[in-house]
Amino acid sequence: MKIVFIGDIVGRPGREMIAKHLKNIREKYNIDLVIANYENASHGFGITKKNADELFGYGIDVMTGGNHSWDKKEIFEIFNTHPLIRPINYPDKSPGRGWIELEVCNQRVAVVSVMGNYTMPMSDNPFIKMNEITNQLRADGIRHIIVDIHAEATSEKQAMMHILKDRVSALFGTHTHIGTDDLMIVNGCCFVTDVGLSGCRDQVIGMDRDIPIEKFMTGVGGHFDIPKKCKKILQMIIFELDDDGRTINAQKLRIYDNGEILKNTARVESY
């Protein structure tokens, strides 16, 4: 089973890179499932129904959320009609669901979204919640479990990896928008601290750089915006799972709008 995981899609530039490249990626690598994070897909904050339909039309199968899941209120309705999930450690009464089950290559696959604590909205303890849901999924016979941990602190992401590495197939960090170089396969679990954004690469976390620079220089900020023109990047992890839900190979793929493509192979670890 070959899977693609795409981190934070940031605004129109990110959607344009998905539109341009994802179909070819699916065909070239014989991809069976594409997962992406929607949290910044619509002008940098949340996702609209129009943009959700657009991204699913490009070949994404499931989308995960984060702390901006609620920014576009129309998402409340499309949680019931689209394969969208929000962090599982939001209160149970919050709109939407925290995980979704799919059938892929005759296997049951669970995709889970969870949010960290540091600098994030108040929510349940992500470590206890993930420990519980992972045990429940495995008790139900699901071995192919893919987790998006949407968190600011790298320590939270790495701690979650150590807690779950023997029970989940893959754990991918999102939220910081800055890709890390620690892609690895640990005890059969694919892990990277942060996949990195898909969108503008020459700004500040995908947003027009003028406002964050002004805030850093003066202490006075403004509304973050997506620039109309920028240099773009598409970042993803391509990984393969065996019948037991363990990762057997993985690579990071970075595609630039100038045609340059960089690949990094995951380091295999055991600890």
What does the H/E/C string look like for the chain? CEEEEEEEECHHHHHHHHHHHHHHHHHHCCCCEEEEECCCCCCCCCCCHHHHHHHHHCCCCEEECCCCCCCCCCHHHHCCCCCECCCCCCCCCCCCCCEEEEEECCEEEEEEEEECCCCCCCCCCHHHHHHHHHHHHHHCCCCEEEEEEECCCHHHHHHHHHHHCCCCCEEEEECCCCCCCCCEEECCEEEECCCCCEEECCCECCECCHHHHHHHHHCCCCCCCCCCCCCEEEEEEEEEECCCCCEEEEEEEEEECCCCEEEEECEEECC
* Active-site entry in 68, 150, 175, 177: 68
Closest Cα partner for 128 from 179, 86, 164? 164
Does the active-site annotation cover 150? no
Q: What is the CB neighbour count within 10 angstroms for residue 102?
A: 16
Neighbours of 8 (CB within 10 A): 30
Q: Which residues are catalytic?
A: 68
